[in-house]
Amino acid sequence: MKRLISIAISVAILLIIYSKIDFQGLIQVFRDCDRVWMTVSLGMVIPITMVTSWRLQQLMPQETSLGFIEANRLILGASVLNMVLPSKMGDIVKAYFMRDRGHLSGSLSLSLVVFEKACDMLSLLLWCVFGLFVYPEKDGLFWTMTLAVTVGLIFGLLLLGSRQFAQIFFVSAIKIAPKKLRQKLQNLQISWQEMHDYFWGDKKQLLIVSATSIFTWFLHLLQIWLFILALKAWTPFIINIALSPLAILAGLLPLTFAGVGTRDAALIFFYQSYFDAQTGAALGLLCTSRYFLPAIIGLPFLGQMMGAARKLKQ
């Protein structure tokens, strides 16, 4: 039911957007696009997936073995499930699948996925803070967003870096959370503690994974900039580093299906000084393709993970 509501909200937002722009102009933007840059930008899905898969290999304990091809299958399979399951549950299913294949224990596999997602969010916030601080035309809204993103980054770093801070946070959150969420928070607390023990015990591994996460998100932001070039528009790359993470964060709000609608509206709003609404809407469609293309490529691997998804549902 929640999924249907999120899809309905996405459709409603898109209808509002397309009712306010020249739809024929949107089609013309794609007709006039640079096909070489379009191919290159869409093809960025491949190196991004490969780097993400290599990072998953680096997350694994040294005594376990996860092949590069299988890591790619896990990443792509999780992309499919993330499109149909709520709250990025595809990544949780990925953890259970790794456990079932005998790579590592269930609690540790969940810890690895939690750390993986935490690194992704902190890397995105890091690039966003960097871009916003160098953004030349900051008004009150942008200073507010800069402050909010910076606070979010500091909070995340404290959660990841301080066991004491994390303990205080989870204890407080469990006390005030509704009953339905308490068990999930307690499970997450256990996984978070195990994650602290595992990763802070090997500083070299922690550095490699963190650096790879930052580089991966650089590739994501580069892909969005290449989309802009493909649409024959222009935004300085440093401006793109500030604006595109804000649009991605808007898409992460738990309101719409895969961020469709909120992300599109944010792209049109934030980039309005650099190109028209038709180009912004086209950029929104291309940014949505960043999630659908890996899901389509991962369809052949979906069956391998469905067993783990059924066990998780039970």
Note whether residue 300 is domain-resident: yes
For residues 302 and 305, give the distance between their C-alpha atoms in angstroms, rounded to a whole number.
6
pLDDT of residue 30: 96
Contacts of 60 (CB under 8 A, 6+ apart): 66, 103, 104, 112
- Is 98 among the domain residues? yes
Q: pLDDT digits over 93-152, tens only? A: 777 777 666 556 666 777 788 888 889 999 999 999 999 988 887 788 889 999 999 999
Q: Is residue 1 part of a domain?
A: no
Write out residues in the chain with pLDDT < 50, as ranges. Answer: none
Asked whether residue 289 is domain-assigned, the answer is yes
Confirm whether 20 is domain-assigned.
no
19 within domain boundaries: no
Query: What's the domain range around 194?
Result: 41-313
**Residue 91 counted as domain residue:** yes
Backbone angles phi, psi at 153, to 5 degrees: -65, -45
Distances (CA, A) of 162 to 28, 116, 126, 154: 52, 17, 18, 11
pLDDT at 46: 95
Q: Helix, strand, or coil here: 273?
A: coil
HSE, side-chain direction, 13 A CA sphere, residue 180: 0
Rounded CA-CA distance 286/274 in Å is 17
pLDDT of res. 104: 63
Task: Tell me what pLDDT residue 96 has.
Answer: 72
Q: Count structural domains, the chain.
A: 1
Positive or negative: CA dihedral 302, 304, 306, 312: negative
Specify the pLDDT at position 258: 77
Residue 54 lies in a domain: yes
Burial of 304 (0-12, 13-18, 19+ CB in 10 A): middle
pTM of the predicted model as reported, rounded to 2 decimal places = 0.90
Query: pLDDT at position 100, please?
Result: 64
